[in-house]
Each structure stands twice: as C-alpha cells, then as structure tokens.
Amino acid sequence: MIGRVNHIAIAVPDLAAAAGRYRDLLGARVSAPQSLPEHGVRVVFVEADNTKVELLEPLGAHSPITGFLDKNPGGGMHHICFEVPDIAMAARQLVEAGARVLGDGKPKIGAHGLPVLFVHPKDFDGTLIELEEVKPDFSPA
Amino acid sequence: MIGRVNHIAIAVPDLAAAAGRYRDLLGARVSAPQSLPEHGVRVVFVEADNTKVELLEPLGAHSPITGFLDKNPGGGMHHICFEVPDIAMAARQLVEAGARVLGDGKPKIGAHGLPVLFVHPKDFDGTLIELEEVKPDFSPA
C-alpha cells in the first residue's frame, strides 16, 4: 500500500534558524518560508535528492504543533508522511485493524492540497504517521 | 552537501510487532529481522519506494537505543540519516560551525559498513542527524 516517503516533518521553535542550519551546516537546498494559516504552521522545505524534510514552526493561536513544542521546546521529529494511492481504502484498512485515525476517521485536505489522514502514534510505536493520497503516475523516474 | 535521505530510524520496544504493523496495516514490504550485535540493535527494514524506514530494537546490555526507549517506552522516531559524498569534509564543516559531532568527532563505520557520524540533537532542533558517506554513482536512477 505505502509508496514513497513524501516528507519527514520536524517541529522547530525558530524556523529561520533551523533553515539556516540545514543550508549552512549541511549544504542543503532550502525553500523560502511559506505560511499556511489554515494549517497553523509556517514551513520551510529542505530538499534531499529523494524526498524532503519539512521544518514546521507554529503559526497562530491554535497550531497543531504547539503542544508538541511545549513538550519538546528545542524541537524534534514530528511525523513521517507516506504516499498511498487510495486513502479511503487505507483509512478503512487501518480502522478495521483497530488503529485510530485522528479526527473523525475520515481523510481531510492536507497542507499540499491532497487528501491526508493521521494515525495515532500510540498505534504505531510512538510515531505519528501521515498518509497522503498521491495518484501513481507512470512517467519515467 | 547532503544528497538522499538514506533512512529514517524508529526505535521500537517490540520489533516483531512493529514490523507486523507496517506489513499488515500499511501494506509495506518489510525485511526479515537482522541482528547487528556490534551496533547493539536488531533491525527490520521497511522499504518505501524512495527510501527506507529502519525499525530498531535494542540488542544486548549496551544498546545505543536503550536510553531513548527508557524515556519513550512506546518507541519513537530516533534519527534521520542523510547521505553525503565526503564525510571527512562534512565533519570538518560541522565542527568548524560549532556543531557537536558525537563521540570523538571522527566518522566511524556504521551499521551498513560505511563511514557515519552523528550530530548532537541539541545542535539540530532536537533531531539526531546521522550522515553516511555514500559515493555518488552515475548509473541511471
């Protein structure tokens, strides 16, 4: 079912400083920061050759990463996102197996404009897993 | 400097159960477990299309992940490994910039038989970063 790792998300207390470290200490390509107010985060993409790291800073009063940063003030790895071809099927399969899909168990539109869901970290070894529906394409790699 | 994400490592308290979840709930290809006594871990590789997740269980009395699991008994995301073409240069650049390379600051041979180093998570937003020297090849992707 799972295809590519779409991204690894890291919550950081200071987005500009974090992006600077990836750029200057690791020589990574980093995007300009983007604010996603509807998702409560400001994000910088760190481009690796095969996937990306998303650095996330809270935005607004109800950011979904505020609680995480309260517990981990220095930041930390927040979630890993896998691509799936059919998220409705993925949701059904997870729920039938007893895993908790966050929210009402239904996929939502995520930060990339595609349907996503999150699985409770207690059902996956302390790891918050995001699934994002990305239709496979058959163009050459 | 950094190239591919070589792997994302997740420390788990029960390797067989964790591998079963990735296989059965996410439909992932998972390897047979491998014991790496010289690195103090037992590992299962979860193959995504573009990179891999390494599920790590402690092995032996001095496993490097025992402390992490004491703090996070349910498991959690442990580190992210980026490939670099020249690890000696990477180490120099990190140390000159004030980042702490764990151990004596010199690369060691890692679990894949290639030179690796780890950067202190306090110098990278709470994220333990591994760099692994992988010589670029120019074969078609």
The predicted structure's pLDDT at residue B136: 72
Q: Please report residues of B whose CB lies closer than 8 A to that of A97.
A: 24-25
The predicted structure's pLDDT at residue B47: 97
Q: Could A125 and B12 be called an inter-chain contact, meaning their C-beta atoms sit closer than 8 Å?
A: yes
The predicted structure's pLDDT at residue B8: 98
How distant is the Cα of A78 from the closest Cα of chain B, in angstroms?
8
Q: pLDDT, tens digit, for every residue of B56-97?
A: 999 998 999 999 999 999 999 999 999 999 999 999 999 999
Alpha carbon A30 to chain centroid distance? 16
So what's the architecture of B5-133 in CATH?
A: Roll (3.10)
Compute how many other C-beta atoms are within 10 angstroms of the C-beta atom of residue B40: 18
Residues A112 and A128: their CA atoms lie apart, in Å, by: 18
**Candidates A48, A94, A125; nearest CB to B82:** A48
Task: Please name the residue that has the structure tokens 């037992």.
Answer: B42
Q: Please report residues of A whose CB lies closer than 8 A to that of B30.
A: none
Indicate which residues of A carry an active-site annotation: 130
DSSP B5-67: EEEEEEE-S-HHHHHHHHHHTT--EEPPPEEEGGGTEEEEEEE-SSSEEEEEEE-STT-TTHH
Q: Which of A136, A109, A128 is nearest to A8 (CA)?
A: A128
Q: pLDDT, tens digit, for every residue of A73-99?
A: 999 999 999 999 999 999 999 999 999
**Candidates A25, A122, A127; nearest CB to B10:** A127
Q: pLDDT, tens digit, for every residue of A2-60?
A: 999 999 999 999 999 999 999 999 999 999 999 999 999 999 999 999 999 999 999 99
Residues A111 and A6: their CA atoms lie apart, in Å, by: 12
Per-residue pLDDT for A141 more than 80? Answer: no
Residues B6 and B31: their CA atoms lie apart, in Å, by: 16
pLDDT-derived band at A61, boundaries 50, 70, 90: confident
Q: What is the mean pLDDT of residues A113-117?
A: 94
The predicted structure's pLDDT at residue B106: 87
pLDDT-derived band at B53, boundaries 50, 70, 90: very high
The predicted structure's pLDDT at residue A136: 72
Higher pLDDT, A31 or A141: A31
pLDDT-derived band at A124, boundaries 50, 70, 90: very high
Q: pLDDT, tens digit, for every residue of B94-135?
A: 999 999 999 988 899 998 899 999 999 999 999 999 999 998
